[in-house]
Chains A and B, each alone.
Chain A
Amino acid sequence: MNTNTHNPSPHLSLHRDPVDEMLKADAAEHRDAYIDDGGFTLRVIDALPPRPQGVSLAVRYGIPFGLAALAAIVVTFLTDGGSFFIDAAMDISTSTLTASSFGFLVMVGAMLVLAATVARDR
């Protein structure tokens, strides 16, 4: 047994625990008995399937970033050269909740969540 955790102060023990000692002795013998590989590793490696490939980082993060950039471009064109962003910034600076400021905050929030996800995964 892992004595560091189970017996933090063995010297303070006033009486022996024969069951504990028997278990420790038997377990030590059990652990010392090395089982020869005997081709086991080779069998495991032969049986390994191709590991499922995770989606590459470029795809995983490129799609949401790309969509965000595309949305920003579309909004810029639809609002006469970005007046949406200017309106939203003005509304936020005056603490006024309008459709523009709300939409802007949602966009910023989504980008922050995405950035946090990237940071956690790295």
Chain B
Amino acid sequence: MKADLPKLRSAASVQFSRFSANRMAMISVWLLALTVALCFLGPYAFPFTAEDADFDNISAGVDLFSIHPFGTDDYGRDLLIRVLEGGQVSLMIGFLGALVAGVIGVLYGAVAGFAGGRTDNIMMRFVEVLYGFPYVILVILLSLLLGGGTLALFTALVFTLWLTPAVIVRAQAQSLSRREFIEAARAGGMTSWQIVTQHIVPNTISLVIVYGSLLVPEVILSESFLSFLGIGIKEPQASWGNLIQIGTSQMATDLRLLLLPGTLLALVLFCLNFIADGLRDAFDPNEH
């Protein structure tokens, strides 16, 4: 009774075909994939790393046919490779941060919304307290605690960014938990945890995918912002944020230090926003 069944279109396949019909979103997917591949594989094409200084070519200009296509900075480090490796850090923090914050937020919100009553009340008041916490100060505190660097930045970002998915999912879980299939699940002997993970969370997933795709650029932007302020990723490690910061200090004389990381960051942010847009349209229940 499995293999020989007529193939019916599931909701997911309808949504997928609707997403692939969105041209901007599909272009964005390919551009983003290309950028990611470039950032993670590109540096291997060069015989030196981002930290190797080439003292013969300090502050070299753009020369696409030389060994340093986009030139070097004033320490003689290759700009292209620094931007690509900075991209690795920014993208990793973006996707991983969104994933971790998303998972925590979804589970927290689903539990709160499903439990309801006093549990929900306490859990959501806690979220509101955290919302009130100024996050630049939180990052500074955490950097002091964890000795600064990527881990402190990552923890601080996740700590502030799981709140919104929690609130969104909680509202959805609240309305879902009053539906009759949840009652049927209880009559079928499922535990509350099983209902949350097998009924509530899968039913919020379309919402979460859309929000998650907006969360990634938010994390990348926050990372860049904090690194720009000098409390995120520290030299000599590169990230798009601190590269842009170095770029701005020299933009009066040499614009390319700002333009290269800035363009890539903008490209990724645009792509992610178009993808989020396409996902939202694909999952929109009003168009079913």
- Is the pairing of A and B real? no
